[in-house]
Chain A
């Protein structure tokens, strides 16, 4: 069975600091990888996704993530965070064939302070 680990439960950063949120998954086959974001009071939104090809994927709002197959990782990065990035971030994975349930990590809460 697939599982996803997000190592950081709560991250606090100052504005303009760089961000990296860890995500590791366990699954032996081909995977699709996702990062979702939930801003306060809003619903889950897709931030970026990886299906195949270039392992460095760029998403909305300056976020990017790198798929490292040998490490079973898909870490989320942003060079310079803003106060508006305060949110909860979820990593998710499903089997490469698609249209199968996503398995989510427990999430990382990011607080950006001025």
Chain B
């Protein structure tokens, strides 16, 4: 596609449920990044991939969070046993060189 797409755009879930957030990067982009943005804050780095290899996951808050990009294209961010503090906008971005192109984000609300 022309840009980065994310699905779902909105997700409301109950505490304790697992959620999977999907990112489809710009075709041909090598790098894919996941960020989380709380209200009134800047995007906070979670993890990133070059092709299918996870390069850095130092930003993942705890082991309930995981991400994969098995074929070097689409990526899934999974949050297990969600908690209310996980509520945020989750943003995906892809990159060919040094600039990031962001998708529309997934607004996650944990009740």
Contacts and interface: CB of A to CB of B under 8 A. Distances in A.
Given A99-B31, A101-B56, A51 B43 contact: no
Contact of A106 (B41, B45, B50, B104): B41
Nearest to B46: A101
A99 B93 CA distance: 12
Contacts of B56: 100-101
A90 B97 contact: no
Contact of B98 (A42, A51, A106): A51
Given A45-B102, A106-B42, A98 B91 contact: no
A109 to B, nearest CB: 9
A99 B50 contact: yes
Contacts, number: 57
A43 interface: yes
Contacts of A90: 42-43
Nearest to A96: B98
A99 B98 CA distance: 5
Contacts of A105: 42
Contacts of B44: 104
Contact of B103 (A32, A43, A46, A92): A43
Q: Quick one: which of A43, A45, A99, A101 has the most chain B CB within 10 A?
A: A101
Interface residues of A, number: 25
Interface residues of B, number: 26
Interface in B12-59: 30-31, 33, 35, 40-45, 48, 50, 56, 59
A107 B42 contact: yes
Q: Quick one: which of A32, A98, A100, A102 has the most chain B CB within 10 A?
A: A102
A44 interface: yes
B61 interface: no
B98 A103 contact: no
Interface of A: 4, 6, 32, 34, 36, 42-46, 49, 51, 90, 92, 94, 98-107
